[in-house]
Amino acid sequence: MTVSDVPSRVDETKGRLGARGGIQVTLSIDAMGGDRGPATIVAGIARSASKNPHLNFILHGPGDELDKLVRKRKILKDRVEIRDVPGVVRMDEKPSQAMRRADTSMRSAIDAVKDGEAQACVSCGNTGALMATSMIRLRKLDGINRPAIACLWPSRNPQGFNVMLDVGADIRADERDLLQYAMMGASYARNGLNLNVPRVGLLNVGTEEHKGRAELKAAQDLIANASGIGGYEFMGFIEGGDIPGDKVDVIVTDGFTGNVALKTGEGTAKLVGDFLKEAFKATPLSRIAALLALTSLKRLQKRIDPRRVNGGVFLGLRGTVVKSHGSADATGVSAAIKLAYELSASGFSERLAARVASAVASAQNDGTSQPK
């Protein structure tokens, strides 16, 4: 057993990521990144604060505007520190420009994690800018070439979720990057979903060995050979239909494919929900049927609601950063905050760093080449 596998010792109720409650956590929140404005961000914070008394916040953005919004929420009294920052990273701003600006709410939110004032950062802002700034300010873990964004995908597995990465950090990924994604994804599943030996699959256009791009075929061999070091079971190639299934626990892919799959899944979930509403409103008889099935429908709505699993975590950095959708409402923002809390309370960042360091050391001792 490695340091990364040591469970938390606090005896409280576990959350969906295996984190235990009762641990005080301070989160750093970028108030200006979302499409809906800071009012929605503050509403999401208030929703989270009402559910979790162990949360405090550092809120970054224009001081006067944020102060007015926070004062309207009694639950946030004495639980929010406001950092007055005038600059905002626009959604169309180039990452190379944004990461050089020191006056933005995004940069300030990340720096609070860097300086040890907060355990995690949450932002709804420009994904490229957030990743670039996080890499510059927090730095990559030793042994990691390209960080990835991992999301939790509702699935048929007993744990209720599968881990998928990369879902948008970088559209490129060669075989060495895909191997690192497998390592990090397995660690996320092991420590977050309490899976001793996560099953890892490599997303492809088919399960046959001769299918797919050259880097996928090369990655298949690398990931299979490193399964002992990474502490996972490699299941080979999988297809898109396996993403929400029970064949694997971790889905590895490049950021382009992962992001398209993620947004397609979210759009499909919304479409199904809209179709159900239309169907149950079609006739008086269907309205009666809807009333009789109300409890089951609410349970289904909750399971397929993409807002409730909003938030992707940047893996491979010296600090925890959670990316929320830019269009997230208060429910979505609250879900991203919940994810950041559970990651912080479980000490996931430290466990991941220990797992990566252990893998690098094992690879060197075995005389194999660790991806750069």
Q: What confidence score (pLDDT) does residue 200 get?
A: 96
Report which secondary-structure segment, H or E, holds 265. helix 255-281
pLDDT, tens digit (0-9, with 9 covering 90-100), for 224-262: 998 888 889 999 999 998 998 999 999 999 989 988 988
CA 134 to chain centre: 14
Sign of the alpha-carbon dihedral angle for 167, 169, 175, 181: negative
Contacts of 21 (CB under 8 A, 6+ apart): 12, 13, 14, 15, 52, 54, 345
pLDDT, tens digit (0-9, with 9 covering 90-100), for 142-167: 878 888 999 888 888 888 889 999 88
Q: What confidence score (pLDDT) does residue 360 get?
A: 60
Q: What confidence score (pLDDT) does residue 350 get?
A: 80
- The CA-based angle 69-109-342, given to 5 degrees, is 90
Q: What confidence score (pLDDT) does residue 369 get?
A: 46
pLDDT confidence bin for 274, thresholds 50/70/90: confident
Task: State the helix-helix crossing angle for 175-192 and 348-365, rounded to 10 degrees.
Answer: 130
pLDDT, tens digit (0-9, with 9 covering 90-100), for 172-218: 888 889 998 998 999 888 877 888 899 999 999 888 877 878 889 88
pLDDT, tens digit (0-9, with 9 covering 90-100), for 120-145: 999 999 989 999 999 999 998 887 88
pLDDT, tens digit (0-9, with 9 covering 90-100), for 84-124: 999 999 888 898 888 889 999 999 999 999 999 999 999 99
The pLDDT of residue 31 is above 70: yes
The pLDDT of residue 66 is above 90: yes
Report DSSP state, residue 208. Answer: S
Percent of the chain residues past pLDDT 90, beyond the cut? 42
pLDDT, tens digit (0-9, with 9 covering 90-100), for 305-358: 556 667 788 998 999 999 998 888 898 899 999 989 988 888 888 877 777 776
Closest residue by Cα to residue 130 from 178, 103, 165, 90? 90
CA distances, 50 to each of 19, 194, 227 (Å): 18, 27, 42
